[in-house]
Structure 1
């Protein structure tokens, strides 16, 4: 390859080279930036990065898995390692084991979301959640710190609760964040806009923008949103202390930037205070997983409800309901085999198949476990001179996997 690249323009037309290199693994392509200045500019161009990403996504669709388990080490370990495990239908293969190049005030972190090879993390502590945010590319060992404006710092003193979401805006080729701040106790029946604050961050511009006409119908009651049909989706209610039967689904359409309230189906077990609903994505549809409260005595039934047509309450269907031998702490997501990964009260991970009733006990351990859609990408190689208020850090840990 080194001999070919001495006279790349003479031996290979750029369009042919573009097609060849865009089909190679991201890890290999990233190393080619050291070949020469022309290769450096070629690979860092937004057009090439976009084409390479599209090809990587296409490969995942036709067979390669895009489902990964992100395992963080215990917070007080000497080295803050992060292991990325790929679901290959039989087992989970380690892809990376790198040192997390990010410091959080509370030592632990919380997943905001992931897309196109980028993972968004925030501090786990209530005082810093949504205020300390990093967007990280594990493959390239690069991250961006999302700055907080002076105005937002003042708002943090005013509001008590914060929720954050992360997504990719394909129309503008931009990565965005939403930050929702509000009081813990709000009367949403007569709520005025002074009781909450909604803003959107653009990675391209590097700025937070307030959504002045945002109408927030309730308080978000889960930290990590699901993403379906271009919408971020949370479980919500009128207050953090409300009974479970007052809960509803809050969606934020990332295209129109409007909030919408959707209802859960009317089903008996949901009204039991022993049951806890978790929103998940099942075969591309919005779904929720109902598991017995890990500390409750009573039913051990787990069930899955699926919204077959997004936004249509009448399309809720109860797919499965089974009694299981272990109580669930929380579900992580669905594997390629449609098994649901569950973090149990015993600290281990199990994979349960609702169709075959089989359980697999996985030898996977970690302090923070996050189930993500992940595609190796070169995002962050391109220059973004307009990124104001951010800092970019490149770490040099030895790559593995």
Structure 2
């Protein structure tokens, strides 16, 4: 097939393509070699992502696991202020994977890519990247560090932009995973793992894991139910220190800068630093680093939502509000742009709570409470070019026409 319009101004063509949805761009890949080359070019993919982030309304990725059907459900919800949060106002995604034991752990999301791992009971069986927008799956090689002795590991996922030297335009985004492996101590004290852990990093560009030598991570991350958020170019986890002299515990946020591969610490305010790390959860609230503190009691307890208004500034931590965990409300799973808070419940439901009015609404979403996941999402072309598996529909479309 020849170029449909060889005299079409390239700059104008790019401007038009940047305004189109992903599904249209995928169809245009089969028009000609020149269009395929343009749309899959790293600079176009990055520019398209930047435009989407700037111009797209707030969209939430919602995941829940249906126990009765043994199926994971992923949906995109347009978070418009006056729209009730309901699956009736969402678009369900085709999730093509099956986890061996229930549902995948979502390591994190970044630029439209979801990182998933199958690691129930501490054994990592598979690790994949999935871009729902283009239905592309990239299966990653398993890590290098696999000790036979008792251990636990934590993962982090994020991306970093690189720029050209000439015009300072975004040229590419490199995606990395970082893995920390903690070896268990022989004693039964609170500090059950040796520090520092072993560290390895995986780059999507090279598709290779590499060990990191000489990096001192001085903190321990929360075991089993660890979670991460990606913000300001860095992965963040809840961490803690233990003073062996007096047994005192200090909680904090540990970060990993994806670009320069440096571990840092973010101190918590007085209202959080002495709290046991397992009672804290790191999240993102309206683009700000957020920590939720839980106070567990027989009658339900409460939670506090704290945000860091100026990133990296200890004095900028502020408590937004305190919520009583009533009627089986268990854990914060996300925030809406209108200020409502999404909770999982002990009854395996997702509910919506308004901290201003105190109103609580059942959303009709059922599933394993730990499977609930809500995070901001942006449509992208990331992973379009490279190794991986795309949808059958896309493969059939590519096979039905030849490029000349």
Identify which of 252, 258, 262 aligns with 1:254. Answer: 258
Question: What pairs up with 1:224-303 in 2 under 5 angstroms?
Answer: 224-238=227-241, 246-267=250-271, 271=275, 276-293=279-296, 296-297=297-298, 300-303=301-304
Judged with a 3 Å threshold, the aligned counterparts in structure 2 of structure 1 residues 301 and 283 are, in CA distance, closer, same or farther, namely: same
Q: CA deviation at 1:271?
A: 4.7
Q: CA deviation at 1:188?
A: 11
Give the Cα separation in 1 of the matches to 2:330 and 2:269. 23
Judged with a 3 Å threshold, the aligned counterparts in structure 2 of structure 1 residues 201 and 91 are, in CA distance, closer, same or farther, namely: same
The answer to whether the 8 Å contact 2:62/2:74 transfers is: no
Name the structure 1 match of 2:19. 23
1:157 matched to 2:137? The reply is: no
Name the structure 2 match of 1:40. 36
Name the structure 2 match of 1:141. 135
Q: CA deviation at 1:81?
A: 4.8
Give the secondary-structure state (helix, strand or coil) at the position aligned to 2:50: helix
Judged with a 3 Å threshold, the aligned counterparts in structure 2 of structure 1 residues 41 and 96 are, in CA distance, closer, same or farther, namely: farther
Q: What is the CA deviation profile of residues 285-338 of structure 1, one whole-angstrom value per residue up to 9, with x for unaligned ones? A: 222122333xx3157333212222223333222221243533432211211112
1:88 matched to 2:80? The reply is: yes
Give the secondary-structure state (helix, strand or coil) at the position aligned to 1:364: strand
Name the structure 2 match of 1:126. 121
Give the Cα separation in 2 of the matches to 1:269 and 1:48. 44
Give the Cα separation in 1 of the matches to 2:27 and 2:294. 46
Identify which of 389, 394, 397 aligns with 2:390. Answer: 394
Q: What is the CA deviation profile of residues 1-43 of structure 1, one whole-angstrom value per residue up to 9, with x for unaligned ones? A: x9xx863113x21211111111011122212223334333332
Name the structure 2 match of 1:315. 316
Q: What is the CA deviation profile of residues 136-179 of structure 1, one whole-angstrom value per residue up to 9, with x for unaligned ones? A: 01121111111025x43xx2424510100110111262111101
TM-score (norm 1): 0.81
Q: CA deviation at 1:224?
A: 1.5
Q: CA deviation at 1:133?
A: 1.0
The answer to whether the 8 Å contact 2:115/2:129 transfers is: yes
Aligned pair count?
Answer: 372
1:51 matched to 2:42? The reply is: no
Give the secondary-structure state (helix, strand or coil) at the position aligned to 1:34: coil
Judged with a 3 Å threshold, the aligned counterparts in structure 2 of structure 1 residues 276 and 56 are, in CA distance, closer, same or farther, namely: same
Give the Cα separation in 1 of the matches to 2:77 and 2:211. 37
Judged with a 3 Å threshold, the aligned counterparts in structure 2 of structure 1 residues 283 and 244 are, in CA distance, closer, same or farther, namely: farther
Judged with a 3 Å threshold, the aligned counterparts in structure 2 of structure 1 residues 397 and 344 are, in CA distance, closer, same or farther, namely: farther
1:166 matched to 2:157? The reply is: yes
Judged with a 3 Å threshold, the aligned counterparts in structure 2 of structure 1 residues 147 and 331 are, in CA distance, closer, same or farther, namely: same
Q: CA deviation at 1:372?
A: 1.9
The answer to whether the 8 Å contact 2:250/2:273 transfers is: no
Report the aligned-residue RMSD.
3.3
Give the secondary-structure state (helix, strand or coil) at the position aligned to 2:24: helix
The answer to whether the 8 Å contact 1:305/1:318 transfers is: yes
Identify which of 369, 372, 378 aligns with 1:375. Answer: 378
Judged with a 3 Å threshold, the aligned counterparts in structure 2 of structure 1 residues 185 and 340 are, in CA distance, closer, same or farther, namely: farther
Name the structure 2 match of 1:388. none
The answer to whether the 8 Å contact 2:300/2:328 transfers is: no
Judged with a 3 Å threshold, the aligned counterparts in structure 2 of structure 1 residues 192 and 334 are, in CA distance, closer, same or farther, namely: closer
Unpaired runs of 5+ residues, structure 2, are 163-171, 395-404
The answer to whether the 8 Å contact 2:354/2:360 transfers is: yes
1:331 matched to 2:332? The reply is: yes
The answer to whether the 8 Å contact 1:68/1:86 transfers is: no
The answer to whether the 8 Å contact 1:70/1:84 transfers is: no
The answer to whether the 8 Å contact 1:159/1:196 transfers is: no
Name the structure 2 match of 1:182. 182
Give the secondary-structure state (helix, strand or coil) at the position aligned to 2:5: helix
TM-score (norm 2): 0.81
Give the secondary-structure state (helix, strand or coil) at the position aligned to 1:19: helix
The answer to whether the 8 Å contact 1:224/1:234 transfers is: yes
Give the secondary-structure state (helix, strand or coil) at the position aligned to 1:205: coil
Give the Cα separation in 2 of the matches to 1:355 and 1:183. 45
The answer to whether the 8 Å contact 2:220/2:240 transfers is: yes
